[in-house]
Chain A
């Protein structure tokens, strides 16, 4: 089956630094990737939709200058949390969708970010 990886799996950083999270589709071309945020014991909140070669579309309330998304190739999307603060600490999960199956999303394993 389709596999999506994320790197790193967990990261601890100091307040004010930027953190980059990678999402890769390993055995298929992902025309679209999604980024979600999940707080402890809460649901997945869609942050943005990333299409290869174009600008990401952000959901209402998500700061695009804070969460920079790049989808440079059909197998890689990156989320950069800029000037991270403790309130950005969360579980970030990406998912990828291939052209042949637009309804199916394959989730990455998630990245746990802790900002001190």
Chain B
């Protein structure tokens, strides 16, 4: 099955700085890559996604890049704010099944 690796496991940044989270996947058939934000004890919330025919997508302070050849994709958050603090998960989708990365705990210090 698909194997998704995510780094770093924890990330601490100062408010206003940028944060980058990276994921790799193993199955070249994966064609959809969503990113989720999860606050403690709550359900994951989709924040941005990218499809395999696109290299980059941006939504305000959040952007995602995809390198199909290298099988890796990244989440970029600019001008971080304390409310961005949460756990972020990447996922790769193969035949409409989601396989999640191990998560990154982002802490934005005021």
Q: Residues of A at under 8 Å CB distance from B?
A: 32, 34, 41-46, 49, 59-60, 91, 93, 95, 97, 102-105, 107-110, 112
Stretch with Cβ within 8 A of A (4 or more), from B39-47, B60-68, B71-79: B39-47
Name the CB-closest residue of A to B51. A103
Contact A103 B102, beta carbon cutoff 8 Å: no
Is chain B's interface secondary structure helix, strand, loop, or mixed overall? strand
On chain A, the residues within 8 Å of B1 by CB distance are: 59-60
Near A by CB (< 8 A), chain B positions 23-63 give 32, 34, 41-46, 49, 51
User: Per a CB cutoff under 8 Å, which of A49, A103, A105, A110 touches B41?
Assistant: A110
Q: Is B93 an interface residue (CB 8 A)?
A: yes
List B residues at the A interface (Cβ < 8 Å).
1, 6, 32, 34, 41-46, 49, 51, 89, 93, 96-103, 105
Query: Chain A CB within 10 Å — which of B6, B42, B45, B96 has the most?
Result: B96
Determine how close the nearest CB of chain A comes to the CB of B36; give it in whole angstroms: 8
B43, B96, B99, B103: the one within 8 Å of A103 (CB): B96
- A34–B34 Cα distance when bound, in Å, is 16
**A42 with B97: CB separation less than 8 A:** no
Q: How far is the CB of B16 from chain A (nearest CB, A)?
A: 27
- Min CB gap A93→B, angstroms: 6
Contact between B103 and A34 (Cβ–Cβ < 8 Å)? no
Question: Would you give the shortest CB distance from B82 to chain A, in whole angstroms?
Answer: 20
On chain B, the residues within 8 Å of A60 by CB distance are 1
Contact for B44 among A45, A103, A107, CB less than 8 A: A107
A59 and chain B: residue at smallest CB distance: B1
Residues of B within 8 A of A59 (CB): 1
- Residues of chain B within 8 A of A34, CB atoms compared: 97-98
